[in-house]
């Protein structure tokens, strides 16, 4: 009996050690290949993430070193990252209100914008104008063809929150699971439809979000659903916004809500939205 028991204990220790070593290796690999912490993930989750990551990196397109798109913008444009979404969507108005230089604004994802200047001297003066630059931007650099890390704004529709838990902090907490909340919940007692809310997230992945989340309240659990709104959002501050003609409206019983203008998800009448209330207006490139 005792030899058999000792043998089983020894075997279990060997298996446990192998599993721990494998977990450490998976954690190290995933820490490099994914943008979020994996310290608390289960062994199965780590393995699925690794498999998914390795599958993604198998598909490779070789790009010639001679490819230099937009080379005419090199050294006469600035890559900037705004402090927040509010600054990003009204950047054109901010420039005009401060008699800023004439620039062309190109949205390049997340909170990043490319400012293309007509005059090199004006670009250098603007770059050194700390009184404005530090207030608007968290980061600024002359663009010489360098790459940026990928980020985008994802608008998350959160559904199924029980009535007694319909609260701004609940929606924001759900949003923080998937990324940094850059546009918080606008839920209030003035809203007629309490079945969902929208939160704007800054994410570093191109995959659309469509997940379920469990809310724990006291000794009860409630399943809710998070789905990303379809369509690619672009801030209205870009100069070529008039070229975005196709619009998709996702309406609810109480009206529309916009993903454009200065305040993308305001509960009342917005800039660029023809009706008040709830819903989504998403601009797509034709």
Query: Each residue of 59-69: pLDDT tens digit?
Result: 788 888 888 88
Report the percentage of the chain scoring pLDDT > 90: 45
User: pLDDT tens across 79-127, in order?
Assistant: 999 999 999 999 999 988 887 788 899 999 999 999 999 899 999 999 9
The pLDDT confidence band at residue 44, using thresholds 50, 70 and 90, is low
Tokens 């005792």: give the residue: 2
CA end-to-end span of the chain, whole Å? 76
User: How far lies 12's CA from each of 7, 9, 16, in Å?
Assistant: 9, 5, 6
Q: What is the pLDDT of residue 237?
A: 78
Report the percentage of the chain scoring pLDDT > 70.
Answer: 63
The reported pLDDT for the residue numbered 60 is 84
Token readout for 177 is 């699971």
How much is the pLDDT for 211?
Answer: 95
CA distance 263 to 256: 14
In this prediction, residue 55 has a pLDDT band, given cuts at 50, 70 and 90, of low
Q: DSSP string covering 99-149, please?
A: TPPPEEEEE-STTEEEEEES-HHHHHHHHT-HHHHHHHEEEEEE-SS----
In contact, 183 and 260? CB cutoff 8 Å? no
**Predicted confidence (pLDDT) per residue in 165-200, tens digit:** 999 999 999 999 999 999 999 999 999 999 999 999
Confidence bin at 31 (pLDDT 50/70/90):
low
Per residue in 240-270, pLDDT (tens digit) is 433 333 333 333 333 334 444 433 333 332 3
Residues 3-22 have a mean pLDDT of 53
Q: Quick one: DSSP state of residue 207?
A: S
Of 12-26, 175-189, 205-219, 226-240, the range with the lowest mean pLDDT is: 12-26
- Cα distance between residue 265 and residue 183, in whole Å: 8
pLDDT at 65: 82
Residue-level pLDDT at 33: 46
Position 140 scores a pLDDT of 93
| Residues 143-158: tens digit of each pLDDT | 999 999 999 999 999 9
> Within 13 Å, how many C-alpha atoms sit on residue 6's CB side?
3
Share the mean pLDDT of the chain.
75
| CA dihedral of residues 80, 82, 86, 88 (deg, nearest 10) | 10
> What pLDDT is stored for residue 259 in this prediction?
43
Q: Which residue has the higher pLDDT, 70 or 1?
A: 70
Residue among 72, 30, 36 nearest 53 (CA): 30
**Which of 6-10, 32-36, 261-265 is predicted most confidently?**
6-10
For residue 180, give both structure tokens.
Answer: 């940094």
pLDDT at 45: 63
Give the pLDDT band (50/70/90) at residue 278. very low
Question: In the prediction, which pLDDT does 253 show?
Answer: 34
Is the pLDDT reported for residue 24 higher than 80?
A: no
């Amino acid at each position: 009996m005792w030899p058999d028991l000792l043998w089983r204990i020894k075997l279990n220790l060997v298996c446990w050690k192998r599993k721990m070593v494998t977990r450490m290796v998976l954690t190290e690999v995933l820490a490099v290949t994914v943008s979020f912490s994996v310290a608390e993930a289960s062994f199965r989750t780590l393995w699925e993430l690794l498999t998914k990551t390795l599958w993604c990196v198998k598909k490779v397109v070789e790009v010639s070193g001679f490819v230099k798109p937009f080379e005419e913008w090199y050294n006469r444009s600035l890559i900037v990252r705004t402090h927040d979404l509010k600054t990003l969507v009204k950047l054109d108005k901010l420039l005009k209100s401060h008699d800023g230089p004439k620039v062309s604004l190109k949205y390049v994802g997340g909170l990043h914008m490319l400012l293309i200047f007509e005059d090199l001297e004006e670009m250098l003066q603007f770059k050194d104008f700390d009184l404005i630059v530090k207030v608007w931007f968290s980061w600024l650099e002359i663009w010489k063809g360098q790459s940026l890390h990928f980020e985008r704004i994802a608008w998350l529709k959160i559904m199924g929150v029980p009535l007694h838990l319909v609260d701004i902090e609940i929606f924001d907490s759900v949003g923080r699971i998937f990324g940094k909340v850059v546009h918080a919940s606008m839920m209030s007692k003035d809203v007629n439809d309490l079945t969902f809310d929208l939160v704007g997230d800054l994410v570093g992945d191109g995959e659309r979000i469509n997940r379920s989340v469990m809310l724990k309240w006291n000794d009860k659990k409630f399943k809710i659903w998070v789905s990303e709104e379809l369509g690619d959002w672009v801030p209205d501050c870009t100069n070529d916004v008039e070229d975005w003609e196709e619009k998709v409206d996702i309406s609810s019983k109480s009206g529309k809500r916009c993903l454009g203008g200065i305040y993308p998800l305001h509960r009342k009448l917005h800039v660029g939205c023809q009706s008040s209330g709830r819903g989504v207006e998403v601009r797509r490139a034709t």
